[in-house]
Structure 1
Amino acid sequence: MNHRTTQRRTFAGGTLVFAAALVLTGCADSDSSDSAKAPELKVSGAYIPAPTMADMAAGFFTLTNEGGADKLTSATSDLAGSVTLHSTKGGEMKEQKSFDVPADGHLDFATGGNHLMLEKLRHKPKQGEKVTLTLHFEKSDPIKVEVPVKEATYQPPQHDTSHDSH
């Protein structure tokens, strides 16, 4: 091997390493800017329909996130021995370990869909009472919510999205 071939290989190898470092740095920067944005969570429209059974109730709400992604990992309540997260798809209810809370998005817990199940109730809540729920997240601090108990047939007002700007 002559001196020129060695110089070309060294230069080419160094250029390749430098280019790879730039690509990796670019990836790290774009990932860190998304993950560096802290979640900004807000709960709205929370309610519990007055339960028909003495030991179980359902909870509904909308979780709005104006920041980076997070994950709802659990919920607790002084009223219930346990609170579990559930999804409903195709009429089939399934317990979930967690729910993703998308960045700059929302997570809905609504009749016929995602919901909380409050089980082993310490007492059967009546319409007009407020139940304290605490939502726990992967990144964010817990959020404590005072949830009103509504009539068993309560249907929340529908949000008209036809006039929302995008």
Structure 2
Amino acid sequence: MNHRTTRRSRRLVASTAVALTAGLVLAGCGDSDKDNKSSKSGKDAPAAAKPELSVDGAYIPVPAMDDMAGGFFTVTNKGAADKLVSASSPLAGSVTLHATVGSTMKERKSFTVPANGTLDFSRGGNHIMLEKLKHKPKQGDKVEVTLRFEKSKPITVSMPVKPATYNPSNDAKTHSTTDKHSSTDKHSSH
């Protein structure tokens, strides 16, 4: 009798396990099929699946040299991660991306724009270099710069030329009123 009870218990456990496994497989198939349909259509894709970029605080200090200038700005992202991969300007023969590590400036091919975060280009840190300038910009001028990203549309920014000693952290009023540009705005690209 003890032997029969053990055999029945094993069959019951095995049958229950098979039934549960089959139920999970069927439930999984149903959900994945539904997910595949919504993924293909893109209608149910979460908003954070795409980067949502904007640029503000952009400026160029009056350059000390006739042929190059630095540029600073902040890229804010309210979506998925992206990468800043290049920049251009009608004023410059080339625009390069740079990071300052310690006291050394190093050219970079790209910068990550973190998901739901910011990428800062500020004095003493990341910056763009406008090289081979066609003319030296003066204080009060505006310089057009187009930023290109791996996933997002290009963003063209009108960067005001500020005094050589300008520091936005010391001038919060000017910083807060700076033009804002986003990847969803209609901008020309160069």
TM-score range, shorter chain: 0.7 to 0.9
Instruction: Give the counterpart letter for 2:163 in structure 1.
Output: E
Are the counterparts in 2 of residues 39 and 67 from structure 1 also a CA contact under 8 Å?
yes
CA distance in 1, matches of 2:48, 2:164: 42
CA distance in 2, matches of 1:93, 1:104: 27
Are the counterparts in 2 of residues 83 and 118 from structure 1 also a CA contact under 8 Å?
yes
The structure with the larger Rg is 2
CA offsets 1:37-63 (integer angstroms, 9 cap, x no match): 111111110000000100000000000
Q: Counterpart of 2:152 in 1: which secondary structure?
A: coil
Q: Counterpart of 1:157 in 2: which secondary structure?
A: helix
Residue of structure 1 in register with 2:100 after alignment: 88
CA distance in 2, matches of 1:128, 1:58: 16
Give the count of matched residue pairs: 140
Residue of structure 2 in register with 1:7 after alignment: none
Structure having the larger proportion of residues in helix: 2
CA distance in 1, matches of 2:120, 2:137: 23
CA distance in 2, matches of 1:50, 1:139: 32
**Could you tell me which of 66, 82, 89 is aligned with 2:78?**
66
What is the root-mean-square deviation of aligned Cα atoms in Å? 2.6
C-alpha displacement at 1:156, in angstroms? 0.7
Structure having the larger proportion of residues in strand: 1
CA offsets 1:54-109 (integer angstroms, 9 cap, x no match): 00000000000011110000000000000000000111110000000000000000
**Could you tell me which of 106, 126, 130 is aligned with 1:118?**
130
Instruction: Give the counterpart letter for 1:40 in structure 2.
Output: E
Segments of structure 2 that go 5 or more residues without pairing to the other structure are 1-17, 40-44, 173-190
Segments of structure 1 that go 5 or more residues without pairing to the other structure are 1-10, 160-166
Are the counterparts in 1 of residues 147 and 156 from structure 2 also a CA contact under 8 Å?
yes
